[in-house]
Amino acid sequence: MWEYSDTVKEHFFNPRNAGAVKDANATGEVGSISCGDALRLTLKVDPQSETILEAGFQTFGCGSAIASSSALTEMVKGMTLEQALTISNQDIADYLDGLPAEKMHCSVMGREALAAAIADFRGEEWHDDHEEGALICKCFGIDAAMIEQTVRANDLRSIEEVTNYTKAGGGCATCHEGIENVLTRIWGAAPAPAPVLSTAEVVPCGGLTNLQRIRRIEQVLESLRPMLQRDHGDVELVDVDGNVIYVNLVGACTGCMMAGATLGGIQQQLIEALGEFVRVVPASEMKRVAAGGR
Task: Report the run of H or E that residue 56 belongs to, with start and end.
Answer: strand 51-60
Given the residues 106, 137, 139, 175, select the one marked as catalytic: 106
| DSSP string computed for 268-283 | HHHHHHHTS--EEEEG
CB-hemisphere CA count at 13 Å for 41? 34
Is there a catalytic annotation at residue 106? yes
| Polymer length of the chain | 294
Give how far Cα 84 sits from Cα of 88, 134, 286, Å. 9, 31, 17
* Nearer residue to other proteins within complex by CB, 182 or 278: 182
Q: How deeply is 113 buried, as exposed, middle or buried, from its count of CB atoms within 10 A (0-12, 13-18, 19+)?
A: buried
Is there a catalytic annotation at residue 205? no
Contacts to other proteins by CB under 8 A: 9, 12-13, 15, 18-19, 28-40, 57-66, 102-103, 105, 112, 116, 126-128, 130, 132, 134-135, 138, 181
Phi, psi of 45 (to 5 degrees): -110, 135
Work out how close the CB of 93 gets to other proteins at its nearest, in angstroms, rounded to a whole number: 16
* Nearer residue to other proteins within complex by CB, 31 or 191: 31
Work out how close the CB of 15 gets to other proteins at its nearest, in angstroms, rounded to a whole number: 7
Work out how close the CB of 10 gets to other proteins at its nearest, in angstroms, rounded to a whole number: 12
Work out how close the CB of 26 gets to other proteins at its nearest, in angstroms, rounded to a whole number: 13
* Nearer residue to other proteins within complex by CB, 132 or 241: 132
* Nearer residue to other proteins within complex by CB, 61 or 282: 61
Tell me which residues are annotated as active site.
Answer: 35, 106
